[in-house]
Structure 1
Amino acid sequence: MSHAPVIAAVDGSEHSLKALQWARGAALRHGTGLLVAHVLPDHAQLYAGRRASLHDSSEPDAYPDPVHDWVRGELGGSAALPDGIRYESLEGSVPEALRVIGAGALMLVMGSRGRGGFASLLLGSNSRAVASTAPCPVVVVPHAARDAGHDTGHGTGAAATGESGSGQSGSRQSAGRVVLGLHAAETPDDVLSFAFEEASVRGTTVQVVSAYTVPPSPALVIDRPFEVIPPEGLADDGDGGVPAEREMLRSQTRRLEPLRARYPDVPVEQAAVPGDPAGRLVDASRSAALVVVGRHHPRRTAMSLQIGSVAHAVLHHAHGPVAIVPTLKDDL
């Protein structure tokens, strides 16, 4: 159980309603409180500033905040609620206000877009800015047009069909996993810990996906499914295989050993795939409960304001919730 709250960032839009309900579930799973945060619109902030400067006692103490009433109505109809729900109206710009309040959070959950925007795009400017700067993990929940749960198609590739190397897994079996994008040599420990903790509280599997680069060859023109191989299957047996793939899986296994020991009840699947890591994770997002990636490029500092290329691409194209996890301690 964590004492840090889950924060839901809302603005009264349909996108933030999805984030609010996702955050409610996260708080219940983690046994912690829920803090619902709303950044007041500019006209409400101007009113507050004017009243303070004029000291006009005839004016109401606060500008009405309809989002507060909306939140109460939405949560009032929920079957289960976490212990300790608070609501805070914030002032300032959306990214800065959420960055400050996120300093003490277990995670911050927000919709992919606020009011307006293009339905074909996943990410709005505020969501992108918060994911790039918040001091806690940020979960971005997609709007309906991007959510695989509302998609009648099943996509392509193994992550969309649930196939494994043996071809025996179905799409129903692949649903609900926590997918972790891992660069074995560079992904910070905080990212791995977040993914395993999420899988633990959900009672589900972690699927670890790493990508490797190989010289172009005719064999790579045709995409092939994930090869999910258990650690005991990595011993040299003289059957050849793809050397880069097997070395990637061995590197994964070494990196995952401490997490397996810490979370012995969390099943782990390992996948090493050729090509673009972001594209593979976007495919995996169609059937995943959550995709977890690190925020920063490893050559940037922990406090960098720029998001890494893989995280950036996954945020813009994913079909399900994505957690962007910063380096919570500067050990780079």
Structure 2
Amino acid sequence: MSNAPVVAAVDGSEDSLRALEWARTEALRHAAGLVVAHVLPDSAQLYAARRSSLADPSQPEQYADPVGERVRDILAGAAELPAEVRYESLEGSVPEALRVSGEEARMLVMGSRGHGGFAALLLGSNSRAVASSAACPVVVVPHAARSAGADAGTGAHAGSGSGSGPSVGRVVLGLHAAETADDVVAFAFAEAAARGTTVQVVSAYAIPPAPNMVVDSPFQVIPPEGLADDGDAVPAEREMLRSQTERLEPFRERWPQVPVEQAAVPGDAAERLVTASRSAALVVVGRHHPRRSVGSLMIGSVAHAVLHHAHGPVAVVPTLSDDA
């Protein structure tokens, strides 16, 4: 994957143009190529099919593509471009065409909503479908209304055009020590190394029920092992941190230059990751439980919730290696 390009999916919407700028900066960070992928509208695809079937040489060879022209103009005015920039006009359904385009990509970057979504939608159907099934990591860049205070970490307005300097904000990794695939952890560390920033590892543990809480059952009392020890941390937290440390050891050895912060928090993992996204450069989550099949089209509940509510870019990383 060292020479794999960053693919930016565009449709001319403001969300997709924010994603394009994020992808341009990301490609520069990794010294990778940039592929700008645009799925042609139905009218253009029908025109191409009609012209091909009629074989009428008097008709223009290509249907006008205003999105392609606009993107080329935007990139022409960019402060710096990757060494290789390629534009692809794709045919077929949007999710399937983008899945094919991303098969050999380092990552596929897209906006949270496209032209087809209602303004009130937090996440468009195409973004959800691609994040649920692409063969590569998918980064979803939220629309402006959701990214309050997070733009500094997205690269959209970063001061360094090359992306070589430290980025504002950490890379936040949602980790289940026993279940998160190695590919997800490695992606987070690689992104932090490219930015010269910290990986903040967040794991959540269940909160014991209060002794006076009744939910169609007898009273449940917190056992002694669930109480605070020496006024510091509950054993569940200590065990979570211990599991984190053990799980992260090989990645610390591989990326010794990346500082690591560990956090074990009570409650809902998705809620904690959404909160952390306000000041994060990137939130990284696994796509689904690794015991499901690698080709599963399902997306886990944590990834689903974070995609819908995060205030900054979210990377959804599938299981990439066959033996993961």
How high is the TM-score relative to the length of structure 2? 0.87
Instruction: Report the aligned-residue RMSD.
Output: 2.0
CA distances 1:158-190 after superposition (whole Å, capped 9, x unpaired):
xxxxxxxxxxxxxxxx95100000000000000
Q: Which runs of 4+ in 1 moved over 4 A?
A: 237-240
Q: Give yes or no for contact 1:282–1:317 (8 Å, CA) kept in 2.
A: yes
CA distances 1:198-242 after superposition (whole Å, capped 9, x unpaired):
000000000000001131238xxxxxxxxxxxxxxxxxx976620
Report the Cα distance in structure 1 between the residues aligned to 2:150 and 2:284, rounded to whole angstroms.
Answer: 21
Q: 2:235 matched to 1:243?
A: yes
Q: Give yes or no for contact 1:191–1:292 (8 Å, CA) kept in 2.
A: yes
Q: 2:188 matched to 1:217?
A: no
Unpaired runs of 5+ in structure 2? 152-166, 212-228
Percent same amino acid among aligned pairs?
76
Q: Give yes or no for contact 1:178–1:288 (8 Å, CA) kept in 2.
A: yes
Report the Cα distance in structure 2 between the residues aligned to 1:201 and 1:122, rounded to whole angstroms.
Answer: 29
Report the Cα distance in structure 2 between the residues aligned to 1:271 and 1:92, rounded to whole angstroms.
Answer: 44
Q: Which amino acid aligns with 2:47?
A: Y
Q: 2:72 matched to 1:72?
A: yes
Match of 1:260, SS state, is: helix
The Cα shift of 1:116 comes to 4.8
Report the Cα distance in structure 2 between the residues aligned to 1:328 and 1:13, rounded to whole angstroms.
Answer: 30
Q: Give yes or no for contact 1:180–1:292 (8 Å, CA) kept in 2.
A: yes
Report the Cα distance in structure 2 between the residues aligned to 1:319 and 1:241, rounded to whole angstroms.
Answer: 29
Equivalent residue number for residue 184 of structure 1: 177
Equivalent residue number for residue 278 of structure 1: 270
Q: Which amino acid aligns with 1:283?
A: T
CA distances 1:223-265 after superposition (whole Å, capped 9, x unpaired):
xxxxxxxxxxxxxx97662000000000000000000000001
The Cα shift of 1:298 comes to 3.0
Unpaired runs of 5+ in structure 1? 152-173, 219-236
The Cα shift of 1:302 comes to 1.2
Q: Which amino acid aligns with 2:33?
A: G
Please show how residues 265-304 of structure 1 align to structure 2 within 5 Å: 265-304=257-296
CA distances 1:117-145 after superposition (whole Å, capped 9, x unpaired):
34443210000000011100000000011
Please show how residues 131-170 of structure 1 align to structure 2 within 5 Å: 131-149=131-149
Equivalent residue number for residue 88 of structure 1: 88
Report the Cα distance in structure 2 between the residues aligned to 1:50 and 1:250, rounded to whole angstroms.
Answer: 63
- Range with greater deviation from structure 2 (119-128 or 47-56): 119-128
Please show how residues 14-93 of structure 1 align to structure 2 within 5 Å: 14-93=14-93
Q: Which amino acid aligns with 2:258?
A: V
Report the Cα distance in structure 1 between the residues aligned to 2:120 and 2:106, rounded to whole angstroms.
Answer: 30
Equivalent residue number for residue 323 of structure 2: 331
Equivalent residue number for residue 205 of structure 1: 198
Q: Give yes or no for contact 2:150–2:278 (8 Å, CA) kept in 1.
A: no
Q: Which amino acid aligns with 1:100?
A: V
Q: Give yes or no for contact 1:40–1:91 (8 Å, CA) kept in 2.
A: yes
Q: Give yes or no for contact 2:288–2:299 (8 Å, CA) kept in 1.
A: yes
Aligned residues: 294
Equivalent residue number for residue 217 of structure 2: none
Match of 1:74, SS state, is: helix
Report the Cα distance in structure 1 between the residues aligned to 2:60 and 2:132, rounded to whole angstroms.
Answer: 37
How high is the TM-score relative to the length of structure 1? 0.85
Q: Give yes or no for contact 1:122–1:318 (8 Å, CA) kept in 2.
A: no
Q: Give yes or no for contact 1:120–1:145 (8 Å, CA) kept in 2.
A: no
Match of 2:180, SS state, is: coil
Q: Which amino acid aligns with 1:134?
A: A
Decide which of 309, 315, 320 is 1:317's aligned counterpart.
Answer: 309
- Inter-CA distance 150–276: structure 2 relative to 1 (3 Å threshold): closer
Q: 2:180 matched to 1:194?
A: no
Match of 1:121, SS state, is: coil
Report the Cα distance in structure 1 between the residues aligned to 2:243 and 2:296, rounded to whole angstroms.
Answer: 27
Equivalent residue number for residue 123 of structure 2: 123
